[in-house]
């Protein structure tokens, strides 16, 4: 199964993913997903590590999980260099978000999971993207 985690009914879902509400992730069977698109869901939750841990348990070996988020360091750099106005910076940092991290910070969280390997990471302007694979222990 390929799923995309959504917050509300009108969230855009990319093909070929099946939308799953964040509140329903515990109803998924362990190791039932071959691909999980988390989007930026971690930016909007205070229990980030718990949600991430739950989603990793739903991923089968060889499956991939991807996520995106706004990079706090890149936004700070953009503000200090004058590339972003204070309003633009505030929109990137807040706008309903309860957390903001850096690419390296999220990778460090990923490294706490023994069977998760980062296979791709990128930073484009102010947003990071990470793709990980669940490997056999």
pLDDT at residue 67 is higher than 90: yes
pLDDT, tens digit, for every residue of 11-60?
A: 888 889 999 998 899 999 999 999 999 999 888 888 888 998 999 999 99
The fourth-level CATH superfamily of domain 2-134 is Vaccinia Virus protein VP39 (3.40.50.150)
Is residue 23 exposed (0-12), middle (13-18) or buried (19+ Cβ within 10 Å)?
exposed
Q: In what order do the strands lie in the sheet with 33-37?
A: 18-21, 2-6, 33-37, 59-70, 127-134, 116-124
Ordered by start, the domain boundaries in the chain are 2-134
Q: What is the average pLDDT across 59-66?
A: 96
Select the more confidently predicted residue: 132 or 13: 132
Checking DSSP bridges between strand 59-70 and strand 33-37, what pairing results, if any? parallel
pLDDT, tens digit, for every residue of 76-97?
A: 999 999 999 999 999 999 988 8
């Amino acid at each position: 199964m390929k799923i995309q985690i959504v917050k509300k009914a009108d969230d855009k879902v990319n093909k070929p993913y099946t939308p799953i509400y964040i509140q329903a992730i515990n109803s998924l069977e362990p190791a039932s997903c071959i691909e999980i698109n988390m989007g930026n869901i971690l930016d909007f939750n205070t229990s980030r590590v718990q949600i991430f841990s739950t989603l990793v348990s739903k991923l089968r070996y060889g499956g991939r999980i991807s996520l995106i988020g706004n990079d706090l360091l890149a936004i700070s750099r953009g503000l200090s260099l004058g590339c972003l106005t204070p309003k633009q910076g505030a929109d990137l940092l807040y706008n309903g978000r309860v957390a903001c991290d850096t690419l390296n910070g999220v990778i460090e969280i990923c490294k706490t999971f023994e069977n998760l390997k980062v296979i791709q990471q990128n930073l484009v302007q102010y947003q990071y993207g990470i793709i990980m694979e669940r490997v056999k222990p």
